[in-house]
Chain A
Amino acid sequence: MDDPRGQPPASDGISLAAAEWNAGRRAFHRSPHGSARGPVCGMGVCHECRTTVDGQPHVRTCGRSARPDTRIGDVATAWYKLPRGGAQRRKPDAVTHFPSVAVLGAGPAGLTAAVHAAEAGASVLLLDENPRPGGQIWRCDHATGAPPPAHDMHRRAYDAGVSTLVGARVVHAGPPTRLFALDADDRVHDIRAEDVVLATGARELLLPFPGWTLPGVMGAGGLQALAKNGLDVRDRRIVVAGSGPLLLAVAAALRERGGRILAIVEQAPRRRVLGLGPRLLAHPSKLARGLKLTHALRGVRRLYSSWIVSADGSSDDGESLASIDVHTPGGSESIPCDLVAYGCGLVPQTEVAQSLGCRLESGAIGVDQDQRTSVDHVFAAGEVCGVAGLDAALVEGAIAGLAAAGRTAAASGLRRRRDRERRFARTFLAAWTLDDRLRALPTDDTIVCRCEDVPFGAVRFHTDPRDAKLRTRCGMGPCQGRMCGPALRWILGWRLDTVRPPYSPVPLEALATIGACVQAR
């Protein structure tokens, strides 16, 4: 940690995506068929916030700081000529790291794993794609830094000498404990670890409905992340919609920042969600969090068995959100709004694990009692092992960190708590099981693959994601099927598609550097 108190500092500015949104930009780039697109996920997955920055096309603005002299490209052309011809640049060298444990993902699970491994004597490198550690739940605020519940873990990481590499995404791996990451300056990091902990978390499931590509319809966690990075929600009319306990946390956080929460639209039935109350009695800390959320959301309209069926653009340009139509048990209703925070649950981010050959179970990494995956020297912890919330992530992170440092005996005492958290999560999350009627949300002309503008009608008769990709371009764009894949798996029952490096877009020269590193080993 670079801050003396061990806390990640508040950044020197807000993210470029937030700054541009605050300045009124809605069309960050144009889709292949020319429709306006703006930020959705807030965490580098969707690639919808990309635009031309300082002459460089395809820059994701959600992970970059706004600076006064930043030049943003004209979205109508979205193309600046690259420097042409000229002498060949010298191939940049890679930075080599030799940690005993490399932890991927600095959210609660990864941070906890890093702390426990380091406290057990391991040299630990903690990597995260975001500019600052914290992940989704413990994401730093641009003004106030890390949230208080994370302070203790940050201090321990600092004291135990955990090295962090932030703004760095793993783009290639293999053999399993050799990772290649690309930092914010596109420099390659060659990480030769003895053991790896995968704590890559989850991303949001967004089920497509007509109009969901309008700028202003964002992920629920996505809008929260963007707000923490400076997107101004004060006096914005916001509808929080989709499903799951995350919606309440997001609504409370946005309200605290001055957003006007018009409604929380939950697809699950009211009795099923409220029926969970008594279960919380056995979990005092969760009960306390629940009561705090209830208090923070008092007076906010709550709709159950309800979902967004379409979103409409404004009458002047048709390119930014103006209103949504909501299906409710009492009939349909139109709600004018400025922002939609939308999420239908969470999906484990298993791409790196898949590429390493880790066995998956129901779309999550399968682990044993010590958080070991099916691949030697590779551990996993947190949401990537199945969505189960903060408490499970913390205990799994501790087990994985200890086990990776060779202290399985010390980890064994934590197994019961982990199992209890997992059991709780299973029954708790069952209340939010998605309604089968949501499969009918997309119409034939609803775009499902945002990157390539592929409509649902083009893919609905396909049974395999690879066939669909080859024949319709669905999933062929820069997000590599991260957005449409989970939705179509749920709607159409597709299998998980295979993963190939690079896991996310990289400059050609980075691939050349990685190849040179592999040769040099």
Chain B
Amino acid sequence: MSCPDVIVVGGGIVGAACAKALADDGQRVVVLDQGSCAGGATASAMGHVVVMDDSDAQGALTIWSQTLWDELADELPAGAERETCGTLWVAADERELQRAHTKQEWYADRGVAAELLDGEAVAATEPALRSGLVGALRVPGDSVVYPPVATMWLLKRARDRGATVEEHVPVARVDGRGVELEDGTRREAGAIVLAAGHHALALLPRQLPGVALRARKGHLAITARYPGYLTHQVAELGYLDSAHGHADVSVAFNVQPRATGQVLIGSSRQFGPTTSGVEPLILARMIDHACSWMPSLRRLEVIRSWTGFRAATDDHLPLVGPVPEEVGLWLATGHEGLGITTSLATARLIADGIAGRPSAIDAAPYLPDRPQPELADG
């Protein structure tokens, strides 16, 4: 086989999106996955395509990426289960309601539709929520997808444009000119895109100063089918406290209606664990917290629970762009809990960068060599 233009390491949703974007540019692409494509963090993810306001950079990336998902809406197969269910950010008290107001202004400034609901409207919108909530912010444009099928579809589109996908090909090392497989084989390419989730940095030829990627374990549980039980993705406004905290363990209320009528229940965040087993204690904390917001969840049947590892950076922004001092090597990882949402925009940043053209948003905040915050507990 002649040398491809680009090797993408990792066939999760980010790698798949990169493969498609690069193939759309006419590049000859090879995707390598250590196991089965869409089998890592992508398989574990919730699949919430959501605009996030935690920083201007995160906002810009999620807003752009959501637009890109919307453009694909008609092409995605039914199995991708895409539904524009919207997000309901719920407030327990006046302080949280104030956050909803601030959030709405932030969305309005960026042209994202969002409406404030009072307590009565919240109860009417999602009757399963506990009574007495003071209000919520409804973001109607947010959507959900089923990540593994969406990923396989992106890969199929890449293959339709000449890309090759190889599974069960573990990569041991990467550099700007090629990759070394675990069996010792070397594969060369014009450029390498490293989209290997939390494994990515370990494959680099040398450490990146100041850049860390930590595996942040999460638990999810899914119920049997209860059509109509839930209509929006519902999350607490305090969600970012869990997402951005650096506590070893935190849980947040975040539930999602699937197209099947199932309810997907999250979420937990843990630093430290390296084993992928379901931890009953963490699951119980997550469930208790969810049930405190939505009491009748208690009686719903869980048919499965599982875990996954998010690739977390210290400043909560992904690492997207060229690796310093390693010409030809590009990083696309560190999306933590937003990999599904931001996969498509990430892929555009990568494709634009490799093609040497400007992107629709400023790429600087995501560059791997951006200044990183000093963390007391890092």
Binding site for B on A (CB under 8 A): 32, 56-58, 79, 82-89, 91, 172, 464, 466-467, 470-473, 476-478, 480, 500-502, 505-509, 511-516, 518-519
Residue from A85, A172, A512 within 8 A of B296 (CB atoms): A85
Contacts of A509 in B (CB 8 A): 287, 291, 298-299
Residue from B36, B223, B285 within 8 A of A466 (CB atoms): B36
Contact status A507-B226, CB under 8 Å: no
Contact status A478-B129, CB under 8 Å: no
Q: A516's closest neighbor in chain B, by CB?
A: B284
Q: A502's closest neighbor in chain B, by CB?
A: B302
Contact status B39-A466, CB under 8 Å: yes
Contact status A478-B305, CB under 8 Å: no
Contact status B278-A89, CB under 8 Å: no
Q: Is B245 an interface residue (CB 8 A)?
A: no
Residue from A88, A476, A514, A515 within 8 A of B292 (CB atoms): A88
What separation, in Å, do the CA atoms of A61 and B285 have in the docked complex? 32
**B residues 296-327 with Cβ under 8 Å of A?**
296-306
Using known A-B contacts A471-B152, A480-B303, A509-B291, determine if residue A89 contacts B127 with beta carbons closer than 8 Å. Answer: no
Which A-B residue pairs are the 7 nearest by beta carbons?
A: A515-B284, A509-B298, A470-B148, A505-B301, A515-B280, A512-B287, A512-B284
**B residues 237-295 with Cβ under 8 Å of A?**
260, 265, 277-278, 280-285, 287-288, 290-292, 295
What separation, in Å, do the CA atoms of A60 and B43 have in the docked complex? 29
Contacts of A519 in B (CB 8 A): 281, 284
Residue from A57, A91, A477, A514 within 8 A of B226 (CB atoms): A57
What separation, in Å, do the CA atoms of A115 and B303 have in the docked complex? 34
Contact status A478-B224, CB under 8 Å: yes
Residue from A58, A85, A501, A512 within 8 A of B301 (CB atoms): A58
What separation, in Å, do the CA atoms of A92 and B229 have in the docked complex? 24
Contacts of B277 in A (CB 8 A): 500
What separation, in Å, do the CA atoms of A88 and B43 have in the docked complex? 32
Contacts of A32 in B (CB 8 A): 225, 260
Contacts of B301 in A (CB 8 A): 58, 478, 505-508
Q: B300's closest neighbor in chain A, by CB?
A: A508
Q: Is B159 an interface residue (CB 8 A)?
A: no
Contact status B127-A85, CB under 8 Å: yes
Contact status A512-B131, CB under 8 Å: no
Contact status B130-A511, CB under 8 Å: no
Q: Is B171 an interface residue (CB 8 A)?
A: no
What separation, in Å, do the CA atoms of A476 and B36 have in the docked complex? 18
Contacts of A58 in B (CB 8 A): 224-225, 301
- Minimum distance in angstroms from B298 CB to a CB of chain A: 4
Contacts of A82 in B (CB 8 A): 128, 226, 229, 296, 299-300
- Minimum distance in angstroms from B228 CB to a CB of chain A: 7
- Minimum distance in angstroms from B290 CB to a CB of chain A: 8
